[in-house]
Amino acid sequence: MKNLCLIFAISILPNLGFSQLIGDTVLVYIDNRVEIKVAISDYDQLSSSEKVTAILDEFKEMLPMMHDQLLPEKADLVKFAEGKAPTIEPGDPKIIYLQKEGEISNTGFRDVAILSGEDFKIFITTTDLSKISDMSLSACFKKAVAQLPEKKHWSKSLSYECIDGNVTLIEDKINHLDMLELGFAAGAGLVRTTWVPDLSIRASLLLNQKGVSYGPYVSSNLLFDFTQESKVNLNTFLNLGYEWTINKHSEKRDMMGFELGYLISKKGDMFGENTFKIGFNWRPTTLVSVNPHIYVTDNFGQVFPGIRIGFGF
């Protein structure tokens, strides 16, 4: 019965874990005339789907029909969603300055087109949208997608330049954004000489600065103590902790921290009165945590080590 409950908990709880999603952006500059930026939850989807290039081609075919409505002396904002007719409204006039052969030139007003798909957005920025229907937008973007690196944990902003059909990477930046993370997990902990299955919930505030993630978290562990009489005693710890990124140069979510816990609900004889635990928390990935700690119980009368391994955060 004990093993069955533990296996069941470990198998289902990781699927319940979730956190705030940080999207990826892939930006392609084409012949110093057009900027295409695609915002998507995971850029791996670009390699397995033609949706982005399809909507780029569809929009390019529509441009000649919008020629008379796109006024070169004004900034235009064009919005187009799959299956709908495009709309044109006044845009935000911004001057673009380019440096060429040692001289700075004013390129004029900026037009923007926003193309919306089911799970992505495309932002096309150029001086005059009516003059880009001759450009191979999707061809350059396909070449950039073919060069996308292997996706790891962190979300990214990647920038490419396409000149005369040749694509080169010009920036590969990890997106480190502040976020509130909430997750559920299952695990097992060693208490005295017994492995005890548990369920837990956790909320953490991750702040990011110069590639380092850090911040406080609060979590609760519900320990299942199976007695010889086939009863289950539930003991609940409330924990406060603080963690930070171990290696800021890695894309891997490798976090280390410390935490203090207190037994807020006691059942059975596993723990005495006024039980605390003090320990470290290591998260080599978002789905695995290792927590060695020390229990202090019986009004500071007993001290013994413990360790917990969790899956799902």
How does residue 99 score in pLDDT terms, banded at 50, 70 and 90?
low
Pick from 30, 46, 254, 43: which is nearest to 137 by CA? 30
How does residue 22 score in pLDDT terms, banded at 50, 70 and 90?
very low
Give yes or no: residues 28 and 169 share one domain. yes
* Half-sphere exposure for 200 (CA within 13 Å, toward CB): 30
Give yes or no: residues 157 and 196 share one domain. no
pLDDT in tens, 246-292: 876 555 668 899 999 999 999 988 899 999 999 999 988 878 899 99
Task: With respect to residue 80, please indicate whether it lies within any of the assigned structural domains.
Answer: yes
Give yes or no: residues 195 and 298 share one domain. yes
Q: Report yes or no: 93 and 109 within 8 Å, Cβ to Cβ.
A: yes
Q: Which of 174, 194, 209 is the last residue of a domain?
A: 174
Give yes or no: residues 47 and 107 share one domain. yes
Q: Which of 174, 195, 227 is the last residue of a domain?
A: 174
Please give the span between the terminal C-alpha atoms of the chain, in angstroms, as a whole number: 25
State which amino acid sits at residue 191: V
Residue with tokens 């070449």: 143
Task: With respect to residue 199, please indicate whether it lies within any of the assigned structural domains.
Answer: yes
Segment 125-134 mean pLDDT: 87
Task: With respect to residue 57, please indicate whether it lies within any of the assigned structural domains.
Answer: yes
How does residue 5 score in pLDDT terms, banded at 50, 70 and 90?
very low
Task: With respect to residue 1, please indicate whether it lies within any of the assigned structural domains.
Answer: no
How does residue 13 score in pLDDT terms, banded at 50, 70 and 90?
very low
Give yes or no: residues 95 and 221 share one domain. no
In the prediction, which pLDDT does 130 show?
Answer: 86
Q: Which of 155, 174, 193 is the last residue of a domain?
A: 174
Task: With respect to residue 2, please indicate whether it lies within any of the assigned structural domains.
Answer: no
pLDDT at 11 over 60: no
In the prediction, which pLDDT does 12 show?
Answer: 36
Task: 96-100: list long-range contacts, CB under 8 Å, 24+ apart.
Answer: 96/127, 98/32
Which residue spans within the chain are E strands per DSSP?
Answer: 18-19, 24-30, 34-40, 76-81, 87-90, 97-100, 103-106, 111-116, 120-126, 156-163, 166-174, 179-191, 194-209, 212-226, 232-245, 255-265, 276-285, 288-297, 302-311
Structural domain boundaries enclosing 277: 8-20+177-311
Give yes or no: residues 69 and 197 share one domain. no
Residue with tokens 């930006």: 27
Q: Report yes or no: 123 and 111 within 8 Å, Cβ to Cβ.
A: no
Task: With respect to residue 87, please indicate whether it lies within any of the assigned structural domains.
Answer: yes
* Phi-psi map region of 129: left, alpha, beta (phi>0 left; psi -120 to 50 alpha): alpha
Task: With respect to residue 55, please indicate whether it lies within any of the assigned structural domains.
Answer: yes
State which amino acid sits at residue 295: Y
Number of structural domains found in the chain = 2
Give yes or no: residues 135 and 208 share one domain. no
Give yes or no: residues 129 and 142 share one domain. yes
Give yes or no: residues 105 and 216 share one domain. no
Pick from 273, 264, 236, 257: which is nearest to 313 by CA? 257
Task: With respect to residue 97, please indicate whether it lies within any of the assigned structural domains.
Answer: yes
Give yes or no: residues 214 and 154 share one domain. no
State which amino acid sits at residue 289: S
Dist CA 3 CA 6 (whole Å): 5
Give yes or no: residues 210 and 97 share one domain. no
pLDDT in tens, 140-195: 999 999 999 877 656 678 899 999 889 999 888 776 556 778 888 999 999 988 89
- Strands of the 76-81 sheet, one edge to the other: 87-90, 76-81, 111-116, 120-126, 34-40, 24-30, 156-163, 166-174
Give yes or no: residues 65 and 82 share one domain. yes
Give me the DSSP letters along 271-294: S-SS-EEEEEEEEEETTEEEEEEE
pLDDT at 200 over 70: yes
